[in-house]
């Protein structure tokens, strides 16, 4: 009988499972010169091999050629054959192919969700030629749970999960490929240029949702109003009371009220105290965790998910892709908290919880595959700063769920200041309860008022009217938009962060406070006007519901895909009727966006326009001034990678334009153009500073090159283009 082959989703999982199940120390194996490896070990005298994939080893690809739409002819092929970007996956594919030859029993140990089930199922049928296998199911990668998962492995894969996962892959291919082709073909037909614009089943409605909000912000007209603040003294303590109306719309009226209120003493008319109880928070699911990671640490949802995934793979937290807000008793609360208590920073809070009955607060959402996110109890030994921060947040949230309710008191004191009514507000914590456990993440506001009684007289220090303006609706943050997507059933717990990242990568969104770019706004508007079903939240929600029904065994995959094909055929027919019109509008939007993005500001030396230039030969970018013909040598280097967008703002120190830089997979940042500016003192080391200065000098020289009178004596546009390439001009 051959070895037992355990198929894992990632290399770290392969190692963890081998170490957990082995009677001794597992042996690492691999082809010479390859990073892809596997582990061999023995258990109860039998040989095992734990081998990893690297996510999906198979993807959907069109069976024929052509760029027409709609097209539904697809097949599963090895990922490295489907995309050049997936070439790294081939050694992992070959390892499984090789090890499958002598395999006896096969165990699937990929992540337990629809994606993990599809990964395992495709490897089974396409590489091993099998229809089914045993299934390890676990929510943490601790040794104890992995052993339990192996000993009580399920006899077969979850067919409903496979069907739901397969349906999602087909749907995303159908919508993503066909809609992207429609947009790209429209531009090609209109402008005779090839420019890929993408959208998809969830991308379209998400962008449209954000674009609608952007329109509200842009259309908002601020109106002036005045607030009146009354500063009073109670003993030695100075307090600020608010006018009974939060806004006064006439300046003269506000000035009159302030003058009157400041002319005498303030009498306490009433004192009202109200007790409040704050329940502990719900456990984290994926959306709430990623929202809080962004809120407290500023990591994008995609970054946050990557950090949480690394903690899971290391065995420190449970599976981070879950909709659940529930913590079932079988995870053993007492055992986990006892283990956590051995970590010094959580010892006191854990000890207090262990002294009472453990019953967590839970939310309404559930997930059949995994519970809410919780710490495993294992102490992190090899964790970076980002991992430590996220781990601390998860531990404190978990412990807080078992805490006592917090008791707070609000205070409201009504004052009469020469016939005008003002209000003092105060808050204080009576019993901290779970707030003390949650610590810095609780962010409670305590502003207790001194003791006061009806009839007390307070000294008026001054009264003043403050000019204000009404503010537009707040922008979504990268955290709050995930919650909005969840409410509208846009995407899943596993895909929302990725969808948001794609919208950034396409240049449709910028900024931490999400701003829709001109291209993103135009694309959303054009789709809404011409093919509204592409951005329909209702349609997307319908398909999400159908896929949930597949997972529950209430719906068939083929029925859902048939419905999708009908919708896309109808949508494509509608699109083709307006293809030229849509193409014209998209082309204008693309050109306008490119022009806008290339202009960064005004040159302080000569008043010319600072524009982005790119060298044909090297691909380097730099900023040059339009005044080069008059001898202006202003030039600045630019980052080699990423989308560069003007912020229409100026640096307070060097007075050069501030740009927004967004590179795929990296945290976006803002910077001014002057490499010598004092604002760069802390984020440029000496070597980078030296290199940047050299690039700055080179940029000035490139700006000087542009003084060449290109075009003079050239007989054709082709000759002019060739000359510019040769000289290194844009």
- The pLDDT tens digits for 333-357 are 999 999 999 999 999 999 999 999 9
Instruction: Using the predicted structure, report yes or no on whether residue 708 has a pLDDT greater than 50.
Output: no
**Which CATH code is given to the segment(s) 166-218+476-590?**
1.10.460.10
Distance CA 409, CA 423 (A): 16
**Is the CB of residue 509 less than 8 Å from the CB of residue 662?**
no
Mean pLDDT of the chain: 88
Per-residue pLDDT tens digits for 268-285: 999 999 999 999 999 999
Per-residue pLDDT tens digits for 662-680: 765 566 678 888 888 888 7
Question: Which pLDDT score is estimated for 321?
Answer: 94
- Straight-line distance from the first to the last Cα atom of the chain, in angstroms, rounded to the nearest whole number: 67
Token pair, residue 503, equals: 């919208």
Instruction: Using the predicted structure, report yes or no on whether residue 463 has a pLDDT greater than 80.
Output: yes
The least confident of 45-59, 120-134, 376-390, 595-609 is 595-609
Distance CA 424, CA 111 (A): 54
Question: Residue 70: is the preceding peptide bond cis (ω within 30°)?
Answer: yes
Query: What is the CA 659 to chain-centroid distance, rounded?
Result: 21
Question: Which pLDDT score is estimated for 218?
Answer: 93
Question: Which pLDDT score is estimated for 663?
Answer: 66
> Would you list the DSSP string of 90-155?
HHHHHHHHHHHTTEEEEEEES-SSHHHHHHHHHHIIIII--S--EE---SS--HHHHHHHHHT-BS
- Please pick, among 69, 150, 170, 319, the residue that the annotation labels catalytic: 319
Distance CA 679, CA 675 (A): 9
Q: Which of 679, 686, 683 is nearest to 656 (CA)?
A: 679
Q: Residue ranges of the domains in the chain?
A: 3-157, 166-218+476-590, 228-279+408-469, 286-400, 603-727
**Is the CB of residue 340 less than 8 Å from the CB of residue 346?**
yes
Residue 633 φ then ψ, to 5°: -110, 20
When pLDDT is cut at 50, 70 and 90, the band that residue 95 belongs to is very high
Pick the CATH number of 3-157 from 3.40.50.140, 3.40.50.1370, 3.40.30.10, 2.160.10.10: 3.40.50.140
Is 92 an annotated catalytic residue? Answer: no
10 Å Cβ neighbour count for 641? 12
Q: Please give the CATH architecture assigned to the domain spanning 228-279+408-469.
A: Distorted Sandwich (2.70)
When pLDDT is cut at 50, 70 and 90, the band that residue 528 belongs to is very high
Answer yes or no: CATH 1.10.340.30 is held by domain 286-400.
no
SS3 state of residue 132: coil
Whether this model's pTM surpasses 0.85: no
Residue 557 φ then ψ, to 5°: -55, -45
When pLDDT is cut at 50, 70 and 90, the band that residue 712 belongs to is very low
Q: Which of 651, 650, 671, 653 is nearest to 662 (CA)?
A: 671
Sign of CA dihedral 366, 368, 373, 377: positive
Question: Which pLDDT score is estimated for 204?
Answer: 94
The string over 54-68, giving b where at least 16 C-beta atoms fall within 10 Å of a residue's C-beta and e elsewhere, is bbbbbbbbbeeeeee
**CA distances to 10, 48, 534, 562, 687 from 143, in Å:** 17, 17, 47, 44, 45
Instruction: Using the predicted structure, report yes or no on whether residue 715 has a pLDDT greater than 80.
Output: no
Instruction: Using the predicted structure, report yes or no on whether residue 326 has a pLDDT greater than 60.
Output: yes
Instruction: Using the predicted structure, report yes or no on whether residue 166 has a pLDDT greater than 80.
Output: yes
């Amino acid at each position: 009988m051959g070895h037992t082959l355990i198929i894992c989703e990632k290399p770290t999982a392969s190692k963890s499972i081998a170490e957990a199940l082995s009677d001794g120390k597992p042996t690492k194996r691999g082809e010479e010169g390859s990073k892809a490896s596997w582990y061999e070990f023995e258990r109860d005298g039998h040989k095992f091999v734990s081998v990893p994939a690297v996510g999906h080893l198979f993807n959907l690809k069109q069976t024929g050629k052509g760029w027409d739409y709609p097209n539904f002819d697809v097949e599963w092929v090895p990922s490295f054959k489907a995309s050049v970007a997936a070439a790294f996956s081939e050694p992992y594919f070959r390892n499984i192919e090789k090890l499958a030859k002598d395999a006896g029993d096969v165990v699937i140990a990929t992540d337990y969700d629809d994606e993990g089930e599809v990964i395992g199922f495709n490897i089974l049928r396409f590489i091993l030629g099998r229809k089914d296998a045993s299934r390890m199911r676990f929510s943490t990668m601790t040794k104890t749970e992995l052993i339990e998962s192996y000993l009580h492995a399920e006899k077969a894969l979850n067919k409903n999960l496979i069907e739901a996962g397969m349906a999602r892959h087909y749907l995303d291919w159908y919508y993503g490929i066909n809609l992207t082709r429609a947009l790209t073909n429209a531009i090609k037909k209109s402008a005779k240029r090839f420019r890929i614009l993408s959208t998809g089943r969830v991308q379209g409605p998400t962008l449209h949702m954000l674009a609608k909000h952007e329109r509200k912000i842009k259309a908002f007209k601020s109106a002036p109003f005045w607030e009146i603040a009354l500063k009073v003294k109670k003993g030695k303590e100075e307090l600020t009371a608010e006018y009974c109306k939060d806004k006064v719309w006439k300046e003269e009226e506000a000035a009159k009220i302030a003058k009157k209120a400041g002319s005498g003493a303030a009498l306490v008319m009433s004192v009202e105290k109200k007790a409040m109880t704050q329940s502990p928070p719900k456990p984290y699911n994926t959306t709430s965790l990623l929202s809080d990671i962004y809120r407290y640490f500023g990591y994008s949802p995609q970054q946050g998910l990557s950090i949480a995934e690394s903690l899971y793979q290391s065995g420190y937290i449970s599976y981070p892709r879950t909709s659940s807000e529930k913590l079932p008793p079988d995870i053993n609360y007492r055992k986990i908290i006892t283990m956590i208590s051995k970590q010094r920073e959580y010892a006191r809070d854990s000890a207090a919880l262990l002294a009472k009955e453990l019953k967590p607060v839970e939310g309404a959402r559930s997930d059949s595959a995994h519970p809410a996110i919780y710490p495993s109890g294992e102490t992190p030994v090899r964790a970076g700063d980002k991992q430590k921060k996220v781990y601390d947040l998860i531990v404190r949230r978990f412990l807080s769920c078992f805490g006592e309710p917090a008791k707070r008191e609000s205070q409201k004191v009504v004052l009469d200041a020469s016939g005008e009514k003002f209000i003092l507000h105060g808050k204080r914590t009576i019993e901290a309860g779970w707030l003390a456990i949650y610590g810095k993440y609780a962010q409670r506001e305590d502003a207790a008022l001194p003791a006061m009684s009806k009839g007390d007289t307070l000294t008026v220090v001054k009264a003043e009217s403050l000019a204000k303006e009404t503010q537009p609706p707040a922008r979504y943050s990268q955290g709050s938009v995930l919650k909005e997507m969840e409410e509208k059933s846009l995407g899943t717990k596993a895909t929302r962060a990725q969808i948001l990242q794609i919208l950034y990568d396409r240049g449709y969104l910028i900024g931490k406070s999400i701003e829709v770019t001109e291209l993103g706004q135009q694309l959303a508007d054009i789709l809404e006007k011409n093919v509204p079903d592409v951005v329909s939240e209702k349609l997307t929600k319908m398909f999400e519901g159908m896929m949930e029904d597949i997972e529950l065994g209430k719906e068939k995959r083929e029925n859902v895909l048939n419905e999708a094909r009908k919708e896309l055929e109808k949508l494509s027919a509608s699109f083709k009727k307006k293809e030229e019109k849509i193409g014209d509008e998209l082309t204008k939007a693309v050109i306008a966006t490119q022009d806008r993005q290339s202009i960064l500001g005004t040159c302080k030396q000569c008043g010319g326009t600072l524009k982005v230039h790119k060298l044909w030969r090297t691909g380097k970018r730099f900023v040059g001034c339009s005044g080069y013909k008059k001898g202006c040598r202003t030039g600045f280097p630019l980052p080699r990678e990423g989308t560069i967008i003007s912020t229409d703002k100026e640096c307070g120190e060097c007075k050069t334009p501030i740009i927004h830089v967004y590179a795929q997979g990296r945290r976006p940042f803002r910077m001014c153009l002057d490499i010598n500016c004092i604002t760069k003192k802390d984020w440029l080391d000496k070597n980078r500073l030296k290199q940047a200065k050299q690039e700055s000098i080179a940029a000035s020289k490139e700006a000087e090159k542009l003084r060449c009178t290109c075009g003079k004596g050239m007989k054709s546009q082709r000759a002019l283009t060739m000359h510019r390439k040769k000289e290194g001009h844009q």
